[in-house]
Structure 1
């Protein structure tokens, strides 16, 4: 399903156009580092960098079951994932809002494990066991975040803000 796409004229140059969602998906797939925001039990945000893969319309990340982000997700599945260019005058930033859903299907996990190796190399090879990734660092739970709303921020000329609603 294609999202509803709109350019926000309040934050966009007159020459800007809305980025088509397939182009945003390409950027999400190509990014190497993402920032995940979760919510602590007392309501404070927690932000951490991580790696992820884009597959079947969702960003997928993994984390140890005892890590802060995993503990936060047990109480509140709402997350924000961001990626982009750390410059002001050029590049494109993306923000994905959604809900983290645990992935436990072993066929799906095997495909995701292979996607990690394809994207990040052999040092990110995982085995799949008991509905999770298993690697040198131990067990890692895998989560999928399908966008509920996403934003794209074109920097430079022309600057613009695209919103996608799913």
Structure 2
């Protein structure tokens, strides 16, 4: 669970207070998967070059989940190096999440996350240890799709609406 940061640092240079993590958490919880949000996952290629791809992600039970076909660049990168970052523009808050993403294969988590995706309109089902559906974003590759859970290490938020501010949140590793 990532409900409570272990430390917080105010990054704002204009005298505003640090932002509470609850602001980001409340928006993630309320807006995924029903709001029109595009998350961008950045991974590292074996040669060290970055790779970024837009993904459909959902916040479930205190964690961010996203998918990718086994042949996609992001899945191949994560298999070799789980370090990644995920960026998203939320209502009034730009958010960057940093950590490690690992494949989820247990059926109870797959079913729970699939149910959340379905509330957003994607008719996904669990088949074995992966997802399948009649369609997905082209960047996900063909089915089946692997599910990944981000283990959050650090997050950065910059508020674009009142109350403004910029904050870094660190989480236990």
After TM superposition, the score normalised by the length of structure 2 is: 0.83
Match of residue 66 from structure 2: 61
Corresponding pairs, count: 156
Q: Deviations over 1:64-98 (max 9, x none)?
A: 1001110111111000000116xxxx932000001
2-structure distance, mates of 1:34, 1:12: 27
Q: Structure 2 unaligned segments of length 5 or more: list them.
A: 135-141
Q: Deviations over 1:5-43 (max 9, x none)?
A: 2212xx3321x2222112111223326211110111111
Match of residue 126 from structure 1: 124
SS in 1 for 2:113: helix
| 8 A contact 1:57–1:146 mirrored in 2 | no
| 8 A contact 1:104–1:142 mirrored in 2 | yes
Match of residue 26 from structure 2: 26
> After the TM superposition, which residues 148-163 of structure 1 pair with which residues of structure 2 at under 5 Å, given as runs?
148-155=153-160, 159-163=164-168
Q: 2:83 aligns with which of 68, 78, 87?
A: 78
After TM superposition, the score normalised by the length of structure 1 is: 0.86
| 8 A contact 2:41–2:53 mirrored in 1 | yes
Q: Structure 1 unaligned segments of length 5 or more: list them.
A: none
Q: Deviations over 1:33-70 (max 9, x none)?
A: 11110111111000111110001221100111001110
Q: 1:37 aligns with which of 37, 42, 48?
A: 42
| 8 A contact 2:19–2:165 mirrored in 1 | no
> After the TM superposition, which residues 134-153 of structure 1 pair with which residues of structure 2 at under 5 Å, given as runs?
134-136=132-134, 137-153=142-158
